[in-house]
Amino acid sequence: MTPAVEGEARTLEDAERLLDAVRALAGARALEDVMAVVRRAARALTGADGVTFVLREGEQVFYADEDAVAPLWKGRRFPASACISGWSILRREVAVVEDIELDARIPLDAYRTTFVRSLVMVPIRQPDPVGAIGAYWATRRRATPREVSLLQALADAAATSIANVELCADLRRAVRVREEFVLVAAHELRTPLTALTLHLGRLRRLAPDGPVGEGLRRAGALQQKVERLVERLLDTTRLVDGSLRLDPTDCDLADVARAAVARAEEARPPDGSTIAFAASAPVPGRWDAVRLEQVVDNLLSNALKYGAGRPVEVSVTREGDGRACLVVRDHGIGVALEDQARIFQRFERAVSADHYGGLGLGLWVVRQIVEAHGGAVSVESAPGAGATFRILLPPG
Domain with CATH 3.30.565.10 in the chain: 249-393
Under 8 Å CB-to-CB from 384, ≥6 apart: which residues?
333, 334
Q: How many angstroms separate the most distant Cα atoms in the chain?
A: 103
Domain with CATH 3.30.450.40 in the chain: 1-244
Q: Is residue 45 within 8 Å of 37, Cβ to Cβ?
A: no
3-state secondary structure (DSSP) of residue 165: helix
DSSP string of 217-252, one letter each residue: HHHHHHHHHHHHHHHHHHHHHHHHHT------EEEE
Question: How far is Cα of residue 189 from the mean position of the Cα atoms in its chain?
Answer: 28
* Model pLDDT, residue 238: 63
* Model pLDDT, residue 375: 93
For the beta sheet containing 95-97, the strands, ordered from the edge strand earlier in sequence to the opposite edge, are 77-79, 60-68, 50-57, 131-137, 118-124, 95-97
Cα-based angle 121, 123, 128 (whole degrees, multiple of 5):
160
CATH architecture designation of domain 1-244: 2-Layer Sandwich (3.30)
* Model pLDDT, residue 363: 84
CA distances from 291 to 2, 298, 324, 363 (A): 74, 11, 15, 13
Ordered per-residue pLDDT tens for the chain, 396 residues? 566 656 666 778 888 999 999 999 998 889 999 999 999 999 999 999 999 999 999 999 999 999 999 999 999 999 999 999 999 999 999 999 999 999 999 999 999 899 999 999 999 998 899 999 999 999 999 999 999 999 999 999 999 999 999 888 887 787 677 667 766 676 667 667 777 777 777 777 777 777 877 777 777 777 777 776 676 666 666 666 665 678 899 999 999 999 989 888 877 777 778 899 999 899 999 998 888 988 998 899 888 888 888 899 999 999 988 999 999 999 988 888 877 777 877 655 444 444 444 445 778 888 888 998 999 999 898 888 889 999 999 986
Q: Which amino acid is at 341?
A: A
Would you call 214 exposed, middle or buried from its count of C-beta atoms within 10 A (0-12, 13-18, 19+)?
A: exposed
Q: How far apart are CA 354 and CA 91, in angstroms?
A: 49
Under 8 Å CB-to-CB from 268, ≥6 apart: which residues?
275, 304
* Model pLDDT, residue 129: 95
Name the pTM for this structure. Answer: 0.55
Helices (H), the chain: 3-26, 31-46, 84-91, 108-111, 145-206, 210-241, 253-267, 289-306, 362-372
Beta bridge partners of residue 391, listed in sequence order: 326, 377
CATH architecture designation of domain 249-393: 2-Layer Sandwich (3.30)
Q: Is residue 310 within 8 Å of 276, Cβ to Cβ?
A: no
